[in-house]
A and B are shown apart, each in its own frame.
Chain A
Amino acid sequence: MIISFTLNGRSRTVEIEPSTLVADLLRENLNLTGTHVGCDTSQCGACVVLFDGEAVKSCTLLAPMLDGGTLTTIEGLSGPGGSNALHPMQEAFHQNHGLQCGFCTPGMVMTAVALATNNPTPTEAEVRRGLEGNICRCTGYQNIVASVLAGAAAMHAPGSGE
């Protein structure tokens, strides 16, 4: 079947098998390997992308559902205006040492962007609850939570353009 959707700001039309998962479409067909797949049970959150602005697990979303919608992946966050600049949430992860091996990071960042968009001034408890679907095997979460708090503040700082 043929589906059309907006991917990271660009409209795309692709031919897919109906049984294709969005995570596989991104990684295998579109070479967008920033979205990671860490489990088979929809529990780890490494694959989180934004679908119509909401955080979803791309390993548990069928590609046919994308038709007519808008998808943002980790690759779509950086480079506003064609620059290489990091998104404020990515910058906050960098500054706060919010990653070690980096495997969970794309999902953490996408979940965090959705969280901070819905709730511009989250508390630490709200950040921890919001990240319940994202597993990190390295950091112990302290620096991730610090990153998300800093990233949320930066996203909504005057002049940040968000």
Chain B
Amino acid sequence: MRSFAFHRPTTLYEMSALLGGVADSMPLAGGMTLLPTIKQRLAAPAALIDLSNIPQLHGISAQADVLTVGAMTRHVDVAESELVRSKIPLLASLAAGIGDPAVRNRGTIGGSVANNDPSADYPAAVLALDATVVTDRREIAAVAFFRGLFETALEPGEIITAVRFPVPSAGGYAKFKSPASRYAVVGVCVAKKAGKVRVAVTGAGPGVFRVAVMEAALERTFTPDAIAAIKLGAENLSSDIHADAEYRAHLVTVMAKAAVKSALQTS
């Protein structure tokens, strides 16, 4: 691999100084996206700033009806957390379905949300649960955070420290996965809280998005049948070797119904 320097700060302060002070530096979380990207020469940082030794970025906690997951929490930790399972079961099963065991042993929620891959699972949950992305500088509402293909509201050197999820009264996630990577060909997260419903779709387009017509239908009747006849147009959806836009449009309805069904079973 092209050579780069490596720093391992132990405080947020030291981390910010490094990210601000070392030219072409990038934060390193689980490395499951960043290292393959460097190997393929799609990124060439001069230094990696390892986030793994900063205590504030670790840990899962709950207060009243908010679940806070530290940015460096690995997928395996979310999948196996009793706290997550009891508060927001859809999040535990979403994490358990990411990639494979070795990916889950390294990959983190912070890395996944910061990366905003159009086929990643977490962005759908962050958007559907109306979560707040907490950074070392500010708090960003999910609706303002995701900006399309690999784009987010993060500024250079800004780091996600945690994601705060309001606990829904019901919620579910369903994905049609790529059999090779387990990334979502289409993934739909549905969440209900205080009479409001959110439907967030990943994998189908250039970035995660909400489906207002499905949300309105589910606010009237929260059943799979309520959205069975709603089909997205294929115009803005992706076509690739995994699925064409027409098929993805069809899958959005199928996965949304499955997500509602799962929400009804776990609530």
Contacts and interface: CB of A to CB of B under 8 A. Distances in A.
Interface stretch (A40-48, A80-88, A153-161): A40-48
Nearest to B45: A19
A62 B36 contact: no
Interface string A56-76: 110011101100000000000
A28 to B, nearest CB: 12
A65 B36 contact: no
B100 interface: yes
Contacts of A45: 100, 102
Main secondary structure of the interface of B (DSSP, over half): loop
Given A19-B2, A62-B28, A133 B35 contact: no
B48 interface: yes
Interface in B90-113: 99-103, 105-106
A43 B181 contact: yes
A64 B35 CA distance: 13
Nearest to A41: B36
Interface in B157-193: 180-182
Interface stretch (B4-12, B58-66, B143-151): B4-12
Interface string A1-16: 1000000000000000
Contact of B106 (A20, A40, A61): A61
Contacts of A115: 101
B93 to A, nearest CB: 13
A111 interface: yes
Interface residues of A, number: 28
A21 interface: yes
Interface residues of B, number: 28
A55 interface: yes
B231 interface: no
A127 to B, nearest CB: 12
B181 A18 contact: no
Contact of A130 (B5, B32, B101): B101
A47 B182 CA distance: 19
Contacts of A19: 1-4, 6
A65 B50 contact: yes
Contact of B5 (A18, A20, A55, A134): A18
Contacts of A55: 101-102, 105
B31 interface: yes
Contacts of B181: 43
Contact of B102 (A20, A21, A133): A133
Nearest to A60: B35
Contacts of B40: 40-41
